[in-house]
Structures are given as C-alpha cells and as structure tokens.
Amino acid sequence: MAELRDTVRDRYAAAAVSVNEGKAADDWSEVAGCCDPADGCGVKFYDVKERGDLPEEAVLASLGCGNPMAVADLREGETVLDLGSGGGIDVLLSARRVGPTGHVYGLDMTDEMLDLARENARKAEATNVEFLKGYIEDVPLPDASVDVVISNCVINLSTDKPRVVREMFRVLRPGGRLGISDVVAADTLSPDERAERGSFVGCIAGALSFAEYEAELTAAGFEEISIDPTHEETDQMYGAIVHATKPRT
C-alpha cells in the first residue's frame, strides 16, 4: 500500500515539475492523469470563461475526470475542502464562489504540487485560500469544520477508501455535503477486470464500483447519496459525479 502511495506521489510530483517547466499536457502524457492528454486532460471539463482568468499553470495542472464546481453548488461564505487539490484550479474557482467571507482549503500530499498551487494562488491574488500538506485518509482539520468537500479524480487513487470516506464525514458540519468527480466502475466488473483496463496511478485499477461507493458512503453515515455517470473513461469505467449529505442531527 505504501509503495502504491509513493508511486502516485512521484507521478504527480513529476507532473507539477513539468508544468513549472512550461510543458503542455501532451508533453507529459506518461507522467500522470486520469484522462486522455490528447483531449486536453482535465481542462476540457471547464468552461473557457470559467478558467480564462486563472494562472496558466493552474489550468495546465488540471488532471481530473470532471468539474466538481459544476455540481458543488457553492454559496457565499461557505468553507470548502478540496481533497487532492493539485495545482489549485478547483480551489481558486471555489474561492470565487464563496467570496471574501468564505474560505477554501486545498489538501495535497505532494510538495511540488503544493508549491505550484501556492504560487498560482499568489498570481490569482486569492486571499481566502489555504493549502495544507497531508493525506486524504488523515485530514489535518478539526471535526465539523467545513461545509462542503470537493474532489476531482483523487479518491480512486487512495489505498484506504473507507478511511477517506470516514474523514470526509468527520470534517463536514451537520448538513454539510459532498460534490465529487471520480472514476467509478460498472458493478459487473471484478477488481481484476478493472486492473485490465488501466493502471492504479491512471485512476482505473483502484476505482470502486457504483455499489461499493454507495456502500462506503452509507456505512460512514451519509444520506441523500447519488452517483451519476457523466461519460465513459474506458470500457465500463465511468467519470461520475458523487453527491451525499451529512445528516443535520
């Protein structure tokens, strides 16, 4: 498990270094990412106007399988946590949504990505953001401290997904919610069949099935769960939007 985590960290650290060197997505297609670099990696999921004012490096470092901003329904004054924040694109977009009275945390385990994200926040003059180093299985925030958890194609990379789900539940305030993009497998695919379709670091082999994802969320205590496919990443492996709510009581 530790070896897999190190592999993920090394790949995404290399991606951050490549972005800092000014390389486009298709120059580091073997480095990292959950989608086809020929399609523009995660950039294709964002509206041109939405990303137009962001630092170029934040856009280039987008490696996700969706756009959690399209579904998170963020509101003025809310506190948001982005799990696996990478170069910071979703943190910076969230910061605009929650405004000066809100706050957005980005959590990442990779020093190179954190350095890139902090520089992007400086360039964007975002004063309501904070980037934290840590693991999504052990979030360095207090209980009931955020209103919304977002994530973009990162939970499938964890080697301990039940713990990630429990951590999301822990840090959310009562009534808090999830707005997550992730890769999810068809219920008919076995773990071996998922591994045949792609690597763990490529966001395929480690993906949960729809039923497994719902079961983990339910076990942690979440309600109002929905997992909706948006597109097919590869045969019977889907980019999906995950919604869930922490009960108010």
- pLDDT tens per residue, range 38-51: 444 455 666 655 66
User: What's 186's domain CATH number?
Assistant: 3.40.50.150
- pLDDT tens per residue, range 18-30: 666 665 544 444 4
Q: Which residues contact 92 (CB under 8 A, 6 or more apart)?
A: 54, 58, 120, 121, 124, 126, 129
Range of the domain at 29: 2-245
Per mean pLDDT, which range of 33-42, 88-97, 108-117 is the poorest?
A: 33-42
Q: Is the model's pLDDT at 138 over the cut of 80?
A: yes
Query: Total structural domains in the chain?
Result: 1
What pLDDT is stored for residue 67 in this prediction? 72
What pLDDT is stored for residue 71 in this prediction? 73
What pLDDT is stored for residue 37 in this prediction? 42
The model's pTM: 0.85
Most confident of 18-22, 56-60, 154-158, 212-216: 212-216
Mean pLDDT of 51-75: 69
Most confident of 1-15, 43-57, 87-101: 87-101
Task: Supply the mean pLDDT for the chain.
Answer: 84
The percentage of residues in the chain with a pLDDT greater than 70, rounded to a whole number, is 73
What pLDDT is stored for residue 198 in this prediction? 83
**CA-to-CA dists, residue 190 to 163, 181, 206, angstroms:** 22, 22, 11
Instruction: Pick the more confident residue, 13 or 166.
Output: 166
Per mean pLDDT, which range of 64-73, 79-88, 95-104, 190-199 is the poorest?
A: 64-73
